[in-house]
Amino acid sequence: MKTCLIGLCILCVGSVMAENYLLNGGQLSDIQYTMEQEFVPVPGIQSLSIGYVIPEDFSSPSYNQDIQKFDVWYSVKPSSSKERIDARGNKVVKVSWKNPQKPIKLRTTILTQNRTELKTIETDAEFPPVNLPRDVRVYLRPTRQVPSDHPEIKRKAAEITSSCDTQFDAVQQILSWIVDRVNYVLLPEDYGAIHSIRTGRGNCQNYSHLAATFMRAVGIPVRIVNGLTLQQPYNIQLSGGYMTMRMAQGRHSWIEVYFPDLGWVPFDPQNMQLFVSNRFIRIEAGLDNNETINDGSIRYRRSTRSGKKPRFEEVINAEFTHDQVQLHAEKQGYGPMKMLFSPPVEAAFTQVVYEASVALPHIIPPMEMATKKFSIPDTMGNLDYPESVDFLSARTLTEDANTDEMVLQKNFLVETAEYVTTEGKRYAQTFILKEPMELSQIGLALHAFGGSGSLWLELHQDDGHGKPGKLISTSEMRAIDTLPRGSGYKWIDFQYPDKEIKLNAGRYWIALAYTGSPILNWFFTYGKPVGPSDGTRYNTLFDATWSHSLSYEFNYRVIGMRSR
């Protein structure tokens, strides 16, 4: 019988902040996925090639993909089509056109049945693993993006796993370390592991590279997976409410870890271990994201470097013809301070309990607040998002020095946003002031597409239980037809001009309200880079208690004056 070894690691004195959740249940979905790509050439282009990878079935203890149909349609017949199996076993197809004169469209269709089954996983794999198969040992190799032989990486990986006797224990300690110390950003300066460990920032590629780097450094094989995530939301039942999980619809990077007694098991290092949701479609695997470049690769050669650049757009759609979800989660008393989801595991591991000091805000009495002078400008919030970016055509153009071809690089820039004016729902975002502020305005990262009506913000106190409570004030109303248009998301600020709103240190809520029929998206960031895990919520017509929490954090800014 495997045992669970319980240990205690006190980081500092305070209250327990563990956010580890054990999931039971599953997801079973029939999915029809289409990707439509359009390349619009300009004069002087001599050749064009587009690559894709044929997805295959995948089976693991938690996630299974059953590809039932794969088809590609071209608006213009290719001049040539070549298929090969690459060094990592991916089925790669390259189609080419000579002297393209008119727009070329591709439509890729996948019919798949995806299943995630979360039940107790048993593993007694020792750490470090031994007697690994030859075809698995290749995934211990260091690369530029996964420098597992770097002295800084080796020291930190050894430190994190120093007390581990089992592979699961080592993997969990590494993921917990990453989840708590890296914040998600869409546009990092670099995608390698070194950048993330030094800056604490990164997108899905960085999370995958950092997890792979630490694990390979201590002898655990990891491969990088490229694929797609679909935006179909799903609910996880918690005690006292629901948590809604939602990914962006677009390209994504995650990992698969090799266990000698389980085989290859998927992980999303951003917040999932030993599984991924069935909203993931697995396409391509390799040593790192520099290697997994075949699916979605676009190259062209031109006779001149002057003139206009060709245009490329990529649109993803998915229809869930059958979608069965039944997931339950229990919060544990151990684990990282940010959210990490896992099926139950029967293995020997240390239940690390993180404790964090929670500094209670200094409450200034009303009499003293009234006499305080607020004169120092201040802005706080979840401020980092790609402002005014066109997500349909945002690809980086580079030149391949070896082939003299121009390369439209595949990227992982995805539109993480919620349609927040859907009928019957209201959305709210918390913010926490560490010191008093005189409020002047609050801004949201919004994209207004059209419609009619007006928007305003409600400012609420916290009810003491992590939900919006008493209404403090409302902002000015802004008509939809006066909001800035154009591509991408922009800060839309709501003024509080008529009142002197002095807020004490503490927790507050921003609730978006509207009239009419506006068509509006509010940008969000994966995880909780600024606020607490329960800090993003919505309610419905049939549930006014704000019992639905969201797994991400909206982008917002609070602007005002603080005192000296």
CATH of the domain at 331: 3.10.620.30
Whether 414 is in a domain gets the answer yes
3-state secondary structure of 176: helix
544: number of CA atoms within 13 Å, CB side?
1
pLDDT of residue 5: 41
Rounded to two decimals, what is the model's pTM?
0.91
Three-state SS sequence of 434-458:
CCCEEEEEEEEEEEEEEEEEEEEEE
Same structural domain for residues 422 and 559?
A: yes
Question: Does a structural domain hold residue 4?
Answer: no
Do 280 and 316 fall into the same domain? Answer: no
Domain membership flag for residue 515: yes
**Which strand (E) or helix (H) includes residue 342?**
strand 340-342
Q: Is 9 a domain residue? A: no
Query: From CA 387, how far away is CA 371, in angstroms rounded?
Result: 39
Q: Are 165 and 112 in a shared domain?
A: no
* Whole-number Å distance between alpha carbons of 233 and 248: 10
Q: Quick one: 112 and 124 in the same domain?
A: no
Q: For residue 97, what are the domain limits?
A: 25-116+294-322
User: What H or E segment, with its residue span, contains residue 213?
Assistant: helix 204-217
Is residue 398 domain-shared with residue 311, that is, in the same domain? no
Domain assignment of residue 309, yes or no = yes
SS3 217: helix
- pLDDT at position 397, please? 80
Q: Residue 68: give its domain's CATH number.
A: 2.60.40
Which tens digits make up the pLDDT trace of 277-296? 999 999 999 999 999 999 99
Contact by Cβ (8 Å): 384, 48? no
Q: Are residues 153 and 193 in the same domain?
A: yes
In sign, the C-alpha dihedral spanning 543, 547, 553, 559 is positive
Q: Pairing between strand 250-259 and 340-342?
A: unpaired
Spatial separation of the C-alpha atoms in residues 460 and 435, rounded to whole Å: 17
Domain-embedded: residue 169: yes
**Would you state the structure tokens that stand for residue 548, as one six-digit string?**
């639905």
What residues contact 543, with CB distance under 8 A and at least 6 apart?
none
End-to-end Cα, the chain, rounded Å: 61
* Residues 480 and 535 grouped into a single domain: yes
For residue 73, the tally of other CB atoms under 10 A from its CB is 11
The confidence score (pLDDT) of residue 9 equals 36
At residue 366, the pLDDT reads: 67
Residue 289 covered by a domain: no
The residue written with tokens 């201590």 in the block is 218
Does 263 fall in a domain? yes
* Residue 269: predicted pLDDT: 97
How confident is the model at residue 361, as a pLDDT?
Answer: 60
User: So what's the pLDDT on residue 11?
Assistant: 37
Tell me: the pLDDT tens digits for 489-514?
999 999 987 778 999 999 999 999 99
Could you tell me the two tokens for 24? 């039971």
Beta bridge partners of 234: 245
**DSSP-derived secondary structure for 353-385:** B-EE------PPPHHHHHH--EEEEEEEEE---
194 and 204 share one domain:
yes
Q: Are residues 94 and 151 in the same domain?
A: no
Collapsed DSSP state (helix, strand, coil) of residue 412: coil
Task: Choose the final residue of a domain: 356, 376, 398.
Answer: 356
DSSP states of 264-331 = EEEEBTTTBSS---TTEEEEEEESSTTT---TT-EEEEES-S-SPPPEEEEEEEEEEEEEEEEEEEEE
Low-confidence ranges of the chain (pLDDT < 50): 1-16, 355-358
Report the domain count for the chain: 3
Cα atoms in the 13 Å half-sphere on the side-chain side of 107? 9
Secondary structure of residue 83 in the 3-state scheme: strand
CA 291 and chain centroid, separation: 21
For residue 497, what is the domain's CATH number? 2.60.120.260
Pair (468, 503) in one structural domain: yes
pLDDT for 548 equals 92
Same domain, 329 and 464: no
Q: Say yes or no: 542 and 400 in one domain.
A: yes
